[in-house]
């Protein structure tokens, strides 16, 4: 498999940084940028984090139980206007 050949490293999820706002895990890349993978991709079984600046990829080692709870989107609050 071509993807297997291009894996730069395997990294434990504990060694990654979690951005709660963006819902992504990231890890420093040797090129100076960072590898990124989204929580939703990880929940879908994806384990490859990619660097947007170079061709390097890493495999994230994790169990589904390692992932933070899924954030539910908040329902927009609406204000009802009552007219008489």
Q: Quick check: is 79 in a domain?
A: no
Which runs of consecutive H residues, i.e. helices, occur in 12-51?
A: 39-43
For 69, residues 6+ apart whose C-beta sits below 8 A from its C-beta are none
Number of domains in the chain: 1
As a residue count, the chain comes to 84
Instruction: Determine if the pTM surpasses 0.85.
Output: no
For residue range 5-28, list pLDDT tens digits in order.
589 999 999 999 999 999 999 999
Q: Which domain holds residue 30?
A: 2-62
Q: Quick check: is 15 in a domain?
A: yes
Q: Quick check: is 80 in a domain?
A: no
CATH of the domain at 40: 3.10.660.10
Q: Is 60 exceeded by the pLDDT of residue 67? A: yes
**Mean pLDDT computed over 21-41:** 95
CA–chain centroid gap for 43, Å, is 9
Nearest 5 degrees, angle CA 66-CA 69-CA 70?
125
pLDDT at 13: 94
């Amino acid at each position: 498999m071509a993807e297997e050949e291009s894996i730069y490293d395997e990294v434990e999820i504990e060694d990654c940084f979690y951005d709660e706002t963006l819902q992504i895990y990231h890890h420093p890349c040797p090129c100076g940028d960072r590898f990124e993978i989204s929580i939703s991709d990880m929940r879908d079984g994806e384990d490859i984090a990619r660097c947007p600046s170079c061709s390097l990829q890493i495999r994230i080692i994790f169990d589904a139980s390692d992932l933070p709870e899924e954030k539910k989107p908040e329902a927009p609050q609406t204000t009802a206007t009552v007219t008489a």
